[in-house]
Amino acid sequence: MAIRLPVVLAQHARRVAAYTDCEESWITSLLFEERLDATLVSDLASIQPDSTDYLCLAGLKGDFVLVSWEDSSAVLRELNRLGFDSFEIVPVDGAAKVSSAQRNQAVKKIYLMGFNKGIPVSELVGQLKRLLESKATPVFQLQLVPKGANIPSSKVLPVVSDFSTSPSLATKATGNSAPAATGISEFKVSYPASSTKSHVGNDPLSREHLPTGIPGGGNFAYEDDDFPHIDNLVDELDRFDS
């Protein structure tokens, strides 16, 4: 499932064209963006706990973006007034983070972006799209282990750096010794030991009728049970040759 990022636009307290035009430009741009869900609420200072705007903010369970005319300290004050806690305000412009989270509480991140009339809205929306992509990309945390640290074997995964045939690789990975791999130096065909019959003499499948150059030069044996019609086939070939 694709990750979506809610974007809450908090209006200015003064409803004049200088502010409303900028807010409308934001809404128009976000309507055409995928996975950026825009929501317009009143000025944070005017929101009351029994209002629909409050219910909108309370319904945001995960991280979201807040675009506001206020700075991070004012946003923190108003959210605390409304009873919200355990969140961290992360200004997108790189300013210092502000947190209201208590110890051992799950922290929800609120990415704060200010309405900036000096920067094109398309550029600011581009920052939100990059933020969305960064949240959609999986991040794996690597931990450096000090040399000589005692780590349970269940936590250690084998690392294969080459195609070495050393038995030490299997010992490290499974805890069991394994014989060293050898090169292909001989050719063998093995069958079950029972009812094994070596065909020699004039039999077309005898050793002297086999192709030459087989490495190892061992006996070429097979089971009668593996070839139930071989005798009949040989007889038919003999009759055909005669």
Question: Residue 157: inside a domain, yes or no?
Answer: no
Q: Which residue in 160, 186, 187 sits closest to 173, CA to CA?
A: 160
Question: Residue 162: inside a domain, yes or no?
Answer: no
Residues contacting 79, CB < 8 A, separation 6+: 44, 57, 87, 100, 110
Instruction: Based on the fold, state whether residues 11 and 99 are members of the same structural domain.
Output: yes
Instruction: Based on the fold, state whether residues 132 and 216 are members of the same structural domain.
Output: no
Q: How many CB atoms sit inside 10 A of residue 66's CB? A: 24
Instruction: Based on the fold, state whether residues 128 and 31 are members of the same structural domain.
Output: yes
Alpha-carbon gap, residue 218 to 145, rounded angstroms: 53
Q: Domain with 122 in it: what CATH number? A: 3.40.50
Alpha-carbon gap, residue 43 to 52, rounded angstroms: 13
Residues paired with 74 in a beta bridge: none
Instruction: Based on the fold, state whether residues 110 and 200 are members of the same structural domain.
Output: no
pLDDT, residue 236, reads: 79
Question: Residue 180: inside a domain, yes or no?
Answer: no
Residue with tokens 């946003």: 75
Instruction: Based on the fold, state whether residues 208 and 129 are members of the same structural domain.
Output: no
Instruction: Based on the fold, state whether residues 15 and 89 are members of the same structural domain.
Output: yes
Query: pTM surpassing 0.85?
Result: no
Question: Residue 152: inside a domain, yes or no?
Answer: no
Contact 30, 24 (CB under 8 A): no
pLDDT tens, position by position, 178-235: 455 444 444 444 445 544 444 444 555 544 554 555 454 455 455 555 566 677 777 8
Question: Residue 159: inside a domain, yes or no?
Answer: no
Domain carrying residue 43: 5-136
Which class for 202: exposed (0-12), middle (13-18), buried (19 or more C-beta within 10 A)?
Answer: exposed
Alpha-carbon gap, residue 178 to 170, rounded angstroms: 6
pLDDT, residue 100, reads: 82
Residues of the chain with pLDDT under 70: 1, 102-105, 136-229, 242
Q: Which residue in 76, 57, 79, 77 sits closest to 6, CA to CA?
A: 57
Instruction: Based on the fold, state whether residues 27 and 105 are members of the same structural domain.
Output: yes
Phi/psi of residue 113, nearest 5 degrees: -130, 135
pLDDT, residue 241, reads: 73
Question: Which residue, 113, 136, 159, sits at the end of a domain?
Answer: 136
Instruction: Based on the fold, state whether residues 200 and 81 are members of the same structural domain.
Output: no
Instruction: Based on the fold, state whether residues 11 and 127 are members of the same structural domain.
Output: yes
Instruction: Based on the fold, state whether residues 18 and 125 are members of the same structural domain.
Output: yes
Question: Residue 55: inside a domain, yes or no?
Answer: yes
pLDDT, residue 238, reads: 79
Question: Which residue, 136, 166, 181, sits at the end of a domain?
Answer: 136
Question: Total structural domains in the chain?
Answer: 2
Instruction: Based on the fold, state whether residues 225 and 119 are members of the same structural domain.
Output: no
User: Is beta strand 98-99 parallel, antiparallel or unpaired with respect to 108-114?
Assistant: unpaired
Question: Residue 187: inside a domain, yes or no?
Answer: no
Question: Residue 129: inside a domain, yes or no?
Answer: yes
Instruction: Based on the fold, state whether residues 208 and 109 are members of the same structural domain.
Output: no
Question: Which residue, 136, 156, 187, sits at the end of a domain?
Answer: 136
